[in-house]
Amino acid sequence: MEEAQIRDIALEALQHIAPEVDVKTLRPDRLLRDEVDLDSMDWLRYISALHQRLGVNIPEADYQLLISIDSVVSYLQKRLEEGAHN
């Protein structure tokens, strides 16, 4: 899957969790939780939405790696290439 497709999916999932956020204005290199102001439940729903949309398992130990849209996309792309699916 191409990086642009993964980015679109990640942003769609975020828009679903936080519909008040204009994902077009997000800076992809900034801390996602600060940019979007996600609480812990929203964060878990976002991780779950990514899993559902892409079928990628995201272990809790890896949550700390997902700090920005850029890092989410890189992480997901790597996991997809590794075949880290259900």
Per-residue pLDDT of the chain (86 residues; tens, 9 = 90+): 899 999 999 999 999 999 999 999 999 999 887 788 888 899 999 999 999 999 999 999 999 999 999 999 999 999 999 885 55
Predicted structure pTM score: 0.89
DSSP per residue, the chain = --HHHHHHHHHHHHHHH-TTS-GGG--TTS-HHHHHT--HHHHHHHHHHHHHHH-B---GGGGGG--SHHHHHHHHHHHHHHT-B-
Q: How far, in Å, are 8, 17, 86 from residue 70 at the CA level?
A: 12, 18, 23
* Domains along the sequence of the chain with CATH: 3-84 (1.10.1200.10)
